[in-house]
Amino acid sequence: MIAIGCDHAGVEMKKAVISALTEKGYELKDMGTDGEPCDYPVIAKAVCELILSGECEKGILICGTGIGMSISANKFKGIRAALCSDSFSAKYTRLHNNANVMCMGARTLGNGLACELAEIFLSTGFEGGRHQRRIDMIE
């Protein structure tokens, strides 16, 4: 299960990502918002808590730039959130950093690219090896 959430700036992108990922067989838990103005740290907390509880494996967070969601999510011990804006960062944040949350900016990316990046992020595994030592240092 994948947790997904956005603030009011990311509603349309979130809908597009949910549609694309559902079509590919992913199960998602939508933590809002559906358009009403909200504070992005509240949504980030809801998504991160689902991951930390084990109810969801990974998360996707969307706000205007993705920066606020990334900062908020990284305040939670055990969360490794990465702001992704291209396929290389979406792939390597999983391969090398074992990120469990991907953040994107609805005002900086198009919906089509966001859907592609989400698929790359979710389908890429962690290499482990020398990278695990570094993850342990972060934790």
C-alpha distance across the termini of the chain, in Å: 23
Cis bond upstream, residue 108 (ω within 30): no
Query: Which of 22, 39, 12 is CA-nearest to residue 109?
Result: 12
> What is the Cα gyration radius of the chain?
14
**Is 131 an active-site residue?**
no
**Is 8 an active-site residue?**
no
**Rounded Cα distance, 125 and 76, in Å:** 22
Q: Do β-strands 2-6 and 58-63 pair in parallel, antiparallel, or remain unpaired?
A: parallel
Indicate which residue of 6, 48, 63, 84 is catalytic.
Answer: 63
Catalytically annotated residues: 63, 96
